[in-house]
Amino acid sequence: RNKVVNSSTFGIAIGGAQTAGLKVTELFPNAALGNGPSDANLVYTNLVGTIDGTTSQPNSLGGIALMENAHDNVIGGYSNDKANIISGNTNPASNEGYGVFIGLPPGSTSTNYPARNIVIRNRIGVRETDDNALPNNFGVYIKKGQNNFIGTANGPNGNIIGNNTLVGIYLN
């Protein structure tokens, strides 16, 4: 299991020009995804913003970011064993601290919005083993994305999103 903690930006960044921030403490320190289209990635079974599922070790801007040109990615999976624990990403100095951010970075004039991404069966803002609080500032924040899904319309494929300090799901 990967542990993604203590980055100065986002823990995992997919798409756009994000070139820093992925810190997987046991596998690839200081690696990053980005610099162009990022399609059909699977991100599952990670601890993001927590070192052990119960203790916060935040990423400064947030846990997982799907940004410019990020399309058809799946965060989580269609079975409970694929869940990410995306919790503990708070930034007391600002209102940042997203569990999952889908959108364009601030100041971007691009029209290459992230699209058709799915956030499914994750634990966001809660601990791994129970529903006690391990908050992000925002659970899921979508800004200028198109046709992105939080959960699915059919079956038991929702996320557990709770206890986040500002908003659970924010659509902008």
Segment 12-31 shows an average pLDDT of: 41
Residue 23: per-residue pLDDT: 29
Radius of gyration of the chain (CA): 14
20, pLDDT greater than 70? no
Residue 171 CA: distances (Å) to CA of 16, 93, 165, 166: 20, 22, 16, 13
Q: Percentage of the chain with pLDDT > 90?
A: 40
- pLDDT band of residue 6 (cuts 50, 70, 90) is low
CA distance 54 to 69: 33
Closest to 172 in 3D by CA, of 145, 137, 136: 145
Q: Is the pLDDT of residue 59 over 90?
A: no
Angle value at C-alpha 132, between 1 and 12, nearest 5 degrees:
35
